[in-house]
Each structure stands twice: as C-alpha cells, then as structure tokens.
Amino acid sequence: MNKQRFDGYLLVTDMDGTLLNRGKIISPENQQAIEMFVEQGGLFTLATGRITSSVQRFADQLPLNAPAVLYNGAVIHDFAKGVDIWQRTLVPSAGAVLSRVMERFPEVGVEIYCGSEPYFIRENETTDYHRRMEKFTRPVLESFESLKDPWFKVLLAWTPERLDEVERFTAETEDKDVIWVRSDEKYLELLPSGATKGHALEHLVQLMGIEMSKCIAMGDNLNDLEMIRRAGVGVAVANAHEILLSASDRSCCHHEEHAVADVIAWLDREVVSK
C-alpha cells in the first residue's frame, strides 16, 4: 500500500455528536482510523463550537496536523504552536442586540466568550449543566458592560422549547453585522458576520494550500451547515439534523457507531483506491 495514499486530503470533523460518542469520548475505532489516516499522509483537524481550553485535552490525544476551527468559526487555532492564527470578533453593536434578547427573555441563560473562559451573565439550569460539564470557573457578572476584551461569541442556553421562541425572535430582528446559529437543541449562538465554520474552513484551506475538492468535512448540527456546503465533500452523520442531511453530499453512520472511522474507510475504499 502506498504509504502516502491520503496525501493532499484534509479531513475536518465536528466534535459533539460527530467525533465524540454520548460519553464525550473518542472511541478506539475512531482513534485508530485517524492515526492511520495521518500516518498515510492525510491532514486531520477539528471544527467545533468549543473554546481552546475545552478542546485541548482532545487535541493532546489526537494526531492533529492542521490548525483547528474553534468558537463555531470565530477562531482558527494552531495547537502545535499554541497560538490563534485567525480570528473574528463581534462588533460593539452586538451588546445592543444581546440586550434586546435579554429584556424579552429574562430567564434565558447567557454566556459571553472572551478571553480564556466564558463570562456567565445570566444563569439557569442549562448554563449550570454547561458550567459543570466544561469545568468553567468564572463567577457570574451582574452586567456585561464591564467587559473590555473583544467578544468571540455569545451563547444563549435554555430548554429546547423556550430556545425555539428565542430563535424566532432573533430571526425577526436581524442585524447584518451578526449571525445567529443553533449549535445544539439547548444552545443558540451569536457570532460575527462571516465567521461560520464554513468561512473559517475556506480560510484554513487557503492557508494550508489544499484543494477544496480534497477537503472532507463532517458534522451533525446546523452550526455545521456552512462548512458542509463549502467542503469538497460534506458528510452528515446519521444522527444529523434533517437540514444537514439534505444539504450534505453523503451521509455516514451514527456518531455512536464510529462515524469518523466510517468516513475514512469510505475515502480509502471509494475515492483513493479508484
């Protein structure tokens, strides 16, 4: 077998609901397939809504050999060098957008991402779970007015049904400088305009000198939609949102069934070997 059979290919995968199983771990099957892919010349990285500190332990476990897309597309981070190599931040008017939502929905949880951890502006049961899961430690702030650093994103957290109401409200009050993306049934995110995973992927491909036709991107939720559309091959896992399934070039198995290994096997069997 050609030792560099995956040379020139870039595989980018979402984490939660795609690479990770329900236990939030990487299966041995996925781990072994990724290691083989990289050993055979492939470039592998992540595209996630998670922040740098949350991804670090997975980056230490995986053979990442390309910068990763973080914050749902607002940041490209090089874990090998420990530096951000590209970023987009929210415009100052995002504060007014957020204020309107908070006034209309006083019980919605609010997390603002700037610096090394999010600031919790308003908490509820969903943000409490998120804080415990990610081991975030910053205390709750009474107001976001004191935050001077640029914001990468804002995460709204609530029950799926109530967050549906928030999403409908934000759709009626669009601002051209920001975008709203549903990253999970419990999370709705405010991002800089032009800072989706898809926009970041385009920049990453140019940076790496990779042909977009040889870029395979995997995902499961609506925050992966622009990435799936722009990739040479967009792959939706079997558990993906129905819109993502419709927009993808192909689908693969459920994230509980080692979806990344499934895609690598397909690439080896149906693309590289032909």
Q: What is the pLDDT of residues 115-129, one digit of tens each?
A: 889 999 999 999 999
**Domain boundary pick from 177, 192, 207:** 192
pLDDT score recorded for residue 273: 67
- Is 5 a domain residue? no
Q: List C-alpha distances in Å: 230 to 150, 196, 235.
A: 27, 11, 11
- The pLDDT > 90 percentage for the chain reads 89
Rounded CA-CA distance 181/28 in Å is: 31
Whether residue 167 is contained in a domain is answered as yes
Query: Has residue 2 got a pLDDT over 60?
Result: no
> In this predicted model, what pLDDT tens digit does every residue of 191-235 receive, in sequence order?
999 899 999 999 999 999 999 999 999 999 999 999 999 999 999
Mean pLDDT of 12-30: 97
Is the domain of 29 the same as that of 48? yes
Q: How far apart are CA 113 and CA 156, in angstroms?
A: 11
Burial of 1 from C-beta contacts in 10 A (0-12 / 13-18 / 19+): exposed
Range of 164's domain?
94-192
pLDDT single digits (tens) 245-264:
999 999 999 999 999 999 99
Give the position of tokens 């397909």: 266
Average pLDDT, the chain: 95
Report the C-alpha gap between 126 and 26 in whole angstroms: 24
| pLDDT tens, position by position, 73-96 | 999 999 999 999 999 999 999 999
Residue 3 pLDDT class (50, 70, 90 cuts):
low
User: Phi-psi region for residue 118, left (φ > 0), alpha (ψ -120 to 50) or beta?
Assistant: beta
- Do residues 222 and 159 both lie within one domain? no
- Tens of pLDDT, residue by residue over 134-176, are 999 998 998 899 898 999 999 999 999 999 999 999 998 778 8
Torsions phi, psi for 10 (to 5 deg)? -120, 125
213 and 266 together in one domain: yes
Boundary-marking domain end, from 192, 213, 234? 192
Residue 4 lies in a domain: no
Say yes or no to pLDDT of 97 above 90.
yes
Q: Is the pLDDT of residue 1 over 60?
A: no
* Cα 233-235-241 angle, rounded to 5 deg: 140
Query: How many domains is the chain partitioned into structurally?
Result: 2
CATH label of the domain that carries residue 16: 3.40.50.1000
